[in-house]
């Protein structure tokens, strides 16, 4: 299933946060923290603009942004601007 990058925030002091949306309407937040060197994927609520649940969908001890975490979860990442933003 294709998953579209909606938005990416980069902060050299903190890390990278990405928001992705699947073809069936689910949203995912991929967060890489440089201080603890960990990537966490959480379900995201686009209507409320916040994490839907703190139940982790995936955790890696390295930078898995740029579609790597999305691919590991079984989705096909698309970063060409087809997402509709958050």
Domain-located, residue 6? yes
39: phi then psi, degrees, rounded to nearest 5: -110, 130
Q: What does the alpha-carbon distance between residue 36 and residue 14 come to, in Å, rounded to a whole number?
A: 10
Domain-located, residue 49? yes
Domain-located, residue 11? yes
Domain-located, residue 86? no
**Run of H or E residues at 15:** strand 15-22
pLDDT number for residue 81: 58
| Number of separate domains in the chain | 1
Of the candidate ranges 9-13, 64-68, 78-82, the one whose mean pLDDT is the lowest: 78-82
Q: Is the pLDDT of residue 15 over 90?
A: yes
pLDDT number for residue 6: 94
Give the range of the structural domain holding residue 57, as residue numbers without chain letter: 2-78
Instruction: Work out the average pLDDT over 33-41.
Output: 96
Q: Is the pLDDT of residue 82 over 60?
A: no
């Amino acid at each position: 299933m294709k998953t579209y990058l909606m938005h990416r925030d980069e902060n050299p002091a903190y890390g990278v946060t990405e928001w992705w949306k699947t073809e069936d309407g689910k949203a995912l937040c991929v967060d890489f923290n440089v201080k603890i060197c960990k990537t966490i994927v959480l379900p995201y609520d686009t209507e409320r603009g916040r994490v839907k649940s703190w139940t982790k969908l995936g955790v890696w001890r390295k930078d898995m942004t740029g579609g790597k975490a999305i691919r590991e979860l079984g989705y096909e990442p698309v970063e060409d601007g087809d997402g509709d933003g958050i």
